[in-house]
Amino acid sequence: MDERQAVMAFAALGQENRFRVVRALVTAGPDGLAAGTLATEIGVSATNLTFHLKELSHAGLIQSRREGKSIIYSAAYEGLSDLITFLMRDCCQGRPEVCAPAVRDSAHA
């Protein structure tokens, strides 16, 4: 991930409903959620949700697949991982022990 991609991802996450979508999809795991379920869970209309899903997909943070008549959305774990790696790559100017608590806590979350 380069800086431009990271900025796009953070811009997408900088809106409350989009942040909630990503959190809900990360919580749901690889099976994901149907669009209707996701809209209900985060409390937005289907039309409003579609706009947010497009932004998150464009930023590489979510993905979709068709299952019958439903579209299932899931977190794009590779994109999310790339974003975290981008932030942590040069952790504390060669002092990774400073970042160790964050890495440890994410493994137990």
Instruction: Give the pLDDT confidence of 70-97 residue by residue, as tens digits.
Output: 999 999 999 999 998 888 777 777 676 7
C-alpha 93/C-alpha 102 separation (Å) is 16
Q: Which residues constitute the domain of residue 93?
A: 3-107
User: What global pTM score does this model have?
Assistant: 0.84
C-alpha 53/C-alpha 85 separation (Å) is 23
CATH number at residue 56: 1.10.10.10
Could you tell me which of 67, 59, 84, 73 has the C-alpha nearest to residue 24?
73
Q: pLDDT tens digit string along 34-73?
A: 999 999 999 999 999 999 999 999 999 999 999 999 999 9
Q: In total, how many domains does the chain have?
A: 1
